[in-house]
Amino acid sequence: MSFVSQFKFLASEKTRDLRHRSVIRTALRSYEVVRDKRKAAFQSWESARQAAAETKWEAINHLDEHLVALTAKLEARGTKVHWASTGAQAREIIAQILRDKKARCIIKSKAMTSEEIHLNDALEKEGFTVVESDLGEFIVQLRHEPPYHIVFPSMHLTRGEIKDLFQKELGDAPSDSPEELTMVARRVMRQKYITADVGFTGGNFAIAETGMISITENEGNARLTAALPKTMITLMGIEKVLPRFSDLALFLPMLATAGAGQPMTCYNTMYSGPRQPGESDGPEEWHVVLLDNRRTELLADAEQRDSLHCIRCGACLNVCPIFRNVGGHTYGTTYSGPVGAVITPHLRGLQEWKHLSNASSLCGACTEACPVKIDLHHHLLQNRRNASAGQPSFFEKLAYMIFGIVANEPAFWSLAKKIGWLTQPLQRAVKGSALDPAKAWTKTRDLPPQPLESFKDWWRNRK
Amino acid sequence: MSEREKILGRIREALKVSAPLPGSHGDTSAVHTAAESPASHAREWLPSVGASEAEQFALFAKNAADLKADFQLFASRDDLKAALTKLRDAEKWSRVASHGGELADLACKALGLPVTITDRGYDVQEMEKCDAGITECDALIAQTGGVVVTSRSAGGRALSVLPPHHVVIARREQLVADLPAAFAMLQQKYADNYPSMISFITGPSRTGDIERILVLGAHGPKKLTVLCF
**Which parts of B59-98 are beta strand (E)?**
70-73, 96-98
Question: Which of A42, A68, A257, A281 to probe by mutation at the B interface, max B CB count within 10 Å?
Answer: A281
Contacts of B222 in chain A (CB under 8 A): none
- pLDDT in the model for residue A65: 97
pLDDT for residue B30 is more than 90: no
Mean pLDDT of B156-173: 98
Torsion angle defined by CA atoms of residues A91, A97, A101 and A103, in that order, rounded to the nearest 10 degrees: -20
- pLDDT in the model for residue A314: 97
Contacts of A51 in chain B (CB under 8 A): 38-39, 41-42, 45
What is the least distance, in Å, from the CA of A134 to any CA of chain B?
9
Q: Which ipTM value was assigned to this complex?
A: 0.96
pLDDT for residue A307 is more than 80: yes
pLDDT for residue A153 is more than 90: yes
Pairwise CB contact (< 8 Å): B210 & A135: yes
- pLDDT in the model for residue B26: 62
Query: pLDDT of A11-56, one tens digit each?
Result: 999 999 999 999 999 999 999 999 999 999 999 999 999 999 999 9
- pLDDT in the model for residue B215: 96
- Distances from the Cα of A142 to the Cα of A36, A135, A333, B208, angstroms: 34, 11, 19, 18
Residue A233 banded pLDDT, cuts 50, 70, 90: very high
Contacts of A31 in chain B (CB under 8 A): 212
Q: What is the mean pLDDT of chain A?
A: 95
Query: pLDDT of A97-146, one tens digit each?
Result: 999 999 999 999 999 999 999 999 999 999 999 999 999 999 999 999 99
Mean pLDDT of B129-150: 98
- pLDDT in the model for residue A452: 84
- pLDDT in the model for residue A440: 81
Classify domain A48-293 by CATH number: 3.40.50.10420
Specify the 3-state DSSP secondary structure of A56.
helix
Contacts of B3 in chain A (CB under 8 A): 82-85, 89
pLDDT for residue A78 is more than 90: yes
User: Residue A9's CB: how many other CB atoms inside 10 A?
Assistant: 12
Specify the 3-state DSSP secondary structure of A438.
coil
For B45, which of A48, A155, A274 is closest by C-beta distance? Answer: A48
Query: Contact, A378 vs A372, CB < 8 A?
Result: no
Q: Tell me the whole-structure pTM to 2 decimals.
A: 0.93
pLDDT for residue A211 is more than 90: yes
Spans of all domains in chain B: 50-228
Query: pLDDT of A369-417, one tens digit each?
Result: 999 999 999 999 999 999 988 888 888 889 999 999 999 999 999 999 9
Among A4-13, A62-71, B23-32, B44-53, the minimum mean pLDDT is found in B23-32
For chain B positions 41-60, those within 8 Å of chain A (CB to CB) are 41-42, 44-48
Mean pLDDT of A59-75: 98
Residue B217 banded pLDDT, cuts 50, 70, 90: very high
Spans of all domains in chain A: 1-41+311-392, 48-293, 411-461
- pLDDT in the model for residue B198: 98
More confident residue, A173 or B65: B65
Contacts of B28 in chain A (CB under 8 A): 302
Query: β-pairing, A212-217 with A267-271?
Result: antiparallel
| Beta-carbon contacts of residue A371 (< 8 Å; ≥ 6 apart) | A48, A49, A52, A254, A255, A257, A258, A311, A313, A315
Pairwise CB contact (< 8 Å): B206 & A219: yes
pLDDT for residue B32 is more than 70: no
Residue B24 banded pLDDT, cuts 50, 70, 90: confident
Query: Contact, B157 vs B197, CB < 8 A?
Result: yes
Mean pLDDT of A179-196: 93
Mean pLDDT of B179-199: 96
For A219, which of B119, B146, B220 is closest by C-beta distance? Answer: B220
Query: Contact, A282 vs A274, CB < 8 A?
Result: yes
Sign of CA dihedral A192, A195, A201, A207: positive
Which one of 3.40.50.10420, 3.30.160.100, 2.160.10.10, 3.50.50.60 gives the CATH number of domain B50-228? 3.40.50.10420
Query: pLDDT of A252-295, one tens digit each?
Result: 999 999 999 999 999 999 999 999 999 999 999 999 999 999 99
pLDDT for residue B28 is more than 80: no
Chain CA centroid to CA A383, Å: 17
How far apart are alpha carbons A305 and B19 in whole angstroms?
7
- pLDDT in the model for residue B23: 76
How far apart are alpha carbons A234 and A81 in whole angstroms?
10
B204 touches chain A (CB under 8 A): yes
Query: pLDDT of A422-461, one tens digit each?
Result: 888 888 888 888 888 888 888 888 888 888 888 888 999 9
Residue B27 banded pLDDT, cuts 50, 70, 90: low
